[in-house]
Chain A
Amino acid sequence: QSALTQPASVSGSPGQSITISCTGSSSDVGGYNLVSWFQQHPGKAPKLMIYDVSNRPSGVSNRFSGSKSGNTASLTISGLQAEDEADYYCHSYRTISSYVFGTGTKVTVL
Chain B
Amino acid sequence: QVQLVQSGAEVKKPGASVKVSCKAAGYTLTGYWMHWVRQAPGQGLEWMGCINLNSGDTHSTQNFQDRVTMTKDTSISTAYMELSSLRSDDTAVYYCAREKSGTSTFDVWGQGTMVTVSS
- Identify the closest chain B residue to A52 (Cβ): B103
Whether the Cβ atoms of B103 and A51 lie closer than 8 Å is yes
Task: Specify the main secondary structure of chain A where it touches its partner.
Answer: strand
Considering only residues 68-119 of chain B, those with a C-beta below 8 Å from chain A are 95, 97, 100, 103-107, 109-112
Is the Cβ of A99 less than 8 Å from the Cβ of B45? no
Q: How far is the CA of A104 from the CA of B46 in the complex (A)?
A: 11
Main secondary structure of the interface of B (DSSP, over half): strand
- A contact residues, total (Cβ < 8 Å): 25
B44 at the interface (CB under 8 A from A): yes
The answer to whether A45 has its CB under 8 Å from any CB of chain B is yes
Closest-CB distance, B50 to chain A (whole angstroms): 8
State whether the Cβ of A36 lies closer than 8 Å to any Cβ in chain B: yes
Chain A residues engaging chain B, CB cutoff 8 angstroms: 1, 3, 32, 34, 36, 38, 40, 45-48, 51-52, 57, 89, 91, 93, 97-104
Q: B-side interface residues toward A, CB under 8 Å?
A: 35, 37, 44-47, 50, 59, 61-63, 95, 97, 100, 103-107, 109-112
